[in-house]
Amino acid sequence: MTNGTINTDPRLFNGCEVGGYRNRDGWLPACDWPADSQIQFGQDLSGKFSFFEVFMEHPDPRFHRGEGPTVADAEQNAWARLERWRACDHEWVRRDGGAAGSTDTCGRCTKCRGVQTSMYPPMTTCRVCGVATSDHTDRNDAYLCAVHGHWSVLPRELWREHHWRQQMRDLGRRRISDMQGLEEEVWAAQSIFCEPPADIPRELDLVMARYRSRS
């Protein structure tokens, strides 16, 4: 900044804030990105080119990216593509072509080749109520909606490791005013283990077991 003021553009995040580890020089975007967008940029891991990424709201693309020799070039590339996107009379098709069992909810425009998130329901359904969902999975990899995948509803023997952690977090956040009588609270506290029980398989073990069963 030349005038000595610190610009705290609220759109910059993830180390790209002025003075952040990705933006020590205080570079600022030049184009008219929406006020509620989130922007990050930097060098590709190869160090050979720069990227500029913007997260916006519908109907703009949820995720948008440009590349170029410098961050400024990458931004110009991303902006040109956004203008093309906005001018396009999109024709959406499922990005995955409607593959059975897909959890991909993205659409791809057949005209501008743009990709948009959350356009289609997943092709998987909740094991309990049958709504299209891919929100959660149980220990047997069955899909569950947000309601039936919650730890307080899912039978304990179908829990995965993250259900256990979710339960511990939820209990930790309970407000005093929501608590019951002292006797019930003592009973509840004594019935909570500090460590996940040994029969909760680690996520990595589940992934490995699935991988082995395939080969």
Give the interface with Zn ion as residue ranges (CB under 5 A).
88, 90, 109, 111-112, 114, 126, 128-129, 145, 148
**Of residues 74 and 145, the one with the C-beta less far from Zn ion:** 145
The pair phi, psi for residue 167, each rounded to 5°, is -60, -45
**Of residues 18 and 112, the one with the C-beta less far from Zn ion:** 112
Provide the terminal-to-terminal Cα distance of the chain, rounded to the nearest Å.
57
E strand spans, the chain: 38-43, 50-55, 63-68, 92-94, 107-109, 115-116, 136-137, 143-144
Minimum CB distance to Zn ion, residue 81 (Å):
11
Q: Which residues contact 173 (CB under 8 A, 6 or more apart)?
A: none
What whole-number distance in Å separates Cα of residue 71 and Cα of residue 41? Answer: 7
**Of residues 30 and 88, the one with the C-beta less far from Zn ion:** 88
Minimum CB distance to Zn ion, residue 172 (Å):
26
| Amino acid, single-letter form, for residue 157 | E
Q: Find out whether 125 and 133 touch, Cβ atoms under 8 Å.
A: yes
Minimum CB distance to Zn ion, residue 23 (Å):
31
Bridge-based pairing of strands 143-144 and 115-116 is: unpaired
Burial group, residue 213, by CB count within 10 angstroms (0-12, 13-18, 19+): exposed
**Of residues 11 and 108, the one with the C-beta less far from Zn ion:** 108
Minimum CB distance to Zn ion, residue 133 (Å):
7
**Of residues 72 and 158, the one with the C-beta less far from Zn ion:** 158
Minimum CB distance to Zn ion, residue 39 (Å):
22
